[in-house]
Amino acid sequence: EAGVAQSPRYKIIEKRQSVAFWCNPISGHATLYWYQQILGQGPKLLIQFQNNGVVDDSQLPKDRFSAERLKGVDSTLKIQPAKLEDSAVYLCASSPRLAGAVYNEQFFGPGTRLTVL
């Protein structure tokens, strides 16, 4: 079974520029997450989608970050304009939504490392 795919793997931009990340979840997974991981810290949830609807975006800086999940499959995360403090690894994860399951394991992609200069 193919895992979660992300691209690009690395991106270097200057502050105030725009950047977009792409995620392709595991086939059939209803739930998709974007996390931000700053160096030395654990991942922090930015946004959670259930199919193509937003479940939780409480920690997404909406003045500069946006995300969409068209047709409930692939997703893109955009930053516009980027700030120095946005330098981080952006992780995408997906999980199935199995009926009656107490827990649905999250499968993570390799992440995109963003450097803002």
Partner 1 sequence: DAKTTQPTSMDCAEGRAANLPCNHSTISGNEYVYWYRQIHSQGPQYIIHGLKNNETNEMASLIITEDRKSSTLILPHATLRDTAVYYCIVRVGQDEKLTFGTGTRLTIIP
- Choice between 60 and 111, CB closer to partner 1: 111
One of 26, 72, 110, 115 touching partner 1 (CB under 8 A): 110
Residues 83-102 that bind partner 1 (CB under 8 A): 91, 93, 95, 102
- Choice between 72 and 110, CB closer to partner 1: 110
**Min separation Cβ 36 and partner 1, Å:** 11
Judge contact between 49 and 75, C-beta under 8 A: yes
25 binds partner 1 (CB under 8 A): no
**Min separation Cβ 81 and partner 1, Å:** 27
53 binds partner 1 (CB under 8 A): no
Tokens for 50, please give them.
């259930």
- Choice between 48 and 75, CB closer to partner 1: 48
One of 31, 66, 76, 115 touching partner 1 (CB under 8 A): 31
**Non-local CB neighbours of 77 within 8 Å, separated by 6+ positions:** 20, 21, 23, 34, 46, 47, 65, 66, 67, 90, 92
CA 116 to chain centre: 17
